[in-house]
């Protein structure tokens, strides 16, 4: 399902963040006297959830790379990987809209240089 552990972890983090925001909204609806001290503390801790922007630049395996990419660190391979990262960074920096703060209440916004059309 996931070709990248990074994408998987980002999706899990985004889901957890969303559930925390939902929990805060639910606890905020409960009258103060009905909440335990622990629930009040949790509500208060979740009150100021940050809005976060994640920029993903995940290495795209070349068609000729096989399983050796996990342990092949020749000079040629490393220069190719660095060049790929450099190009991804340039493409990302050209997207000025990605570099601005997310709108208030947005939660987690993820931009992926290799999936520009998906977000």
Q: What DSSP letter does each residue of the chain carry, written as one string?
A: --S-HHHHHHHHHHHHHHHHHHHHHHHHHS-GGGS-HHHHHHHHHHTTPPPEEEEE------TT--GGGGT---HHHHHHHHHHHHHHHHHHHT-HHHHSPPPTT--EEEEETT-GGG-
Domain shared by 64 and 103, yes or no: yes
Domain shared by 28 and 77, yes or no: no
Domain shared by 39 and 69, yes or no: no
Domain shared by 45 and 64, yes or no: no
Residue span of the structural domain in which 100 resides: 50-119
Residuewise pLDDT in 10s, the chain (119 residues): 556 788 888 889 999 999 999 999 999 999 999 999 999 999 999 998 888 988 888 776 665 666 666 677 788 888 888 888 898 888 888 888 888 888 888 888 888 887 764 44
Residue 108 and residue 102: Cα distance in Å, rounded? 8
Residue 47 and residue 20: Cα distance in Å, rounded? 9
């Amino acid at each position: 399902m996931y070709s990248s552990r990074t994408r998987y972890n980002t999706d899990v983090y985004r889901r957890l963040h969303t559930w925390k925001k939902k929990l805060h909204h639910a606890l905020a609806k409960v009258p103060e006297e009905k909440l335990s001290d622990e629930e009040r503390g949790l509500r208060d801790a979740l009150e100021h959830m940050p809005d976060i922007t994640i920029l993903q630049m995940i290495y795209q395996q070349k068609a000729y790379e096989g399983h050796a990419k996990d342990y092949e660190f020749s000079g040629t391979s490393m220069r190719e990987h660095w060049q790929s990262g450099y190009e991804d960074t340039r493409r990302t920096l050209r997207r000025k809209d990605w570099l601005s703060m997310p709108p208030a209440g947005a939660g987690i916004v993820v931009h992926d240089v290799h999936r520009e059309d998906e977000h």
